[in-house]
Amino acid sequence: MGTPIIQIRNLMKTYKLGGETVRALNDVSIEIDKGEFLAIIGPSGSGKSTLMNMIGCLDLPESGTYLLDGKDIGKMNDNQLAVIRNQKIGFIFQNFNLLTKLSALENVELPLLYAGIPAKERREKSLESLEKVGLRERAGHLPTQLSGGQQQRVAIARALAGNPSILLADEPTGALDSKTSQEILYLIQELNELGHTIILITHDLTIAQQAKRMVSIQDGQLQENGGELIGNMAIY
């Protein structure tokens, strides 16, 4: 701990909406250390999805700087950003985003296929990832043959397959019941203990409190430790 993996300074992002200019991110600055488990909490429209897209190298800021492992993301072209996403960041989405015609193993293999990893190594790494999430024995099953919780575990295994330093989890329990949500959160905590940096995006205070550090975002502005903002966000 103590070594920043992410350094964001004075990030700005605006959108045009119905003739108005909306500041999705308004002078956002944050440092995230290697091995941290951080929750970013905010209501719908607060800017948290925009911030997630920035951190995940899916979008670039209008101004400000974003250093990932010391590299300036704002100066990269699309190909360089794609390489960074593939090597450094594992994405976990609310709706799993699994391909229904592919088995659990084939879904996990996909990012490795895009990275050009040979078939034998790809298979080994993917089975290892499924083992980490407790689903190796379901490798041959299609998503439709798995429960919601198992599908999210496959999605987590896919995020882990390339051994990224950062796991970016966007409402990872949003489509799950409370018992399954808790199981997925325990798994995410275990992955953090194994050394992965976890950034959890959520609107739910109960979920955010599972993290070791929490920041809140509202109207595109970030506030450390939640502050008063969280008091206004506890009910949805």
**104-114 and 148-160 are packed helices; what angle lies between their axes, rounded to 10 degrees?**
20
Distance between the two ends of the chain, CA-based, in angstroms? 34
CB 28 within 8 A of CB 11: yes
- pLDDT average, residue stretch 197-212: 93
Q: What is the pLDDT of residue 225?
A: 64
Q: Quick one: pLDDT band at residue 231, thresholds 50, 70, 90?
A: very low
Question: In this predicted model, what pLDDT tens digit does every residue of 29-49 receive, in sequence order?
Answer: 999 999 999 999 999 888 998
Distance CA 59, CA 127 (A): 31
Q: Is the pLDDT of residue 18 over 90?
A: no
Residue-wise pLDDT tens digits, 101-150: 999 999 999 989 988 899 999 999 999 999 999 999 999 999 999 999 99
This prediction's pTM: 0.89
Give the pLDDT score at 191: 92
Distance CA 126, CA 190 (A): 18
Biggest alpha carbon distance in the chain?
54
Comparison of pLDDT for 226 and 154, the residue scoring more: 154
Sorted by where each starts, the structural domains of the chain and their CATH numbers stand as: 36-60+77-231 (3.40.50.300)
- 95 φ/ψ angles, rounded to the nearest 5 degrees: -100, 25
**Residue 98: C-alpha distances to residues 127, 143, 151 (Å):** 16, 7, 8
**Per-residue pLDDT tens over the stretch 125-139:** 999 999 999 999 999
- Does residue 224 register a pLDDT over 50? yes
User: Residues 184-211: what's their mean pLDDT?
Assistant: 93
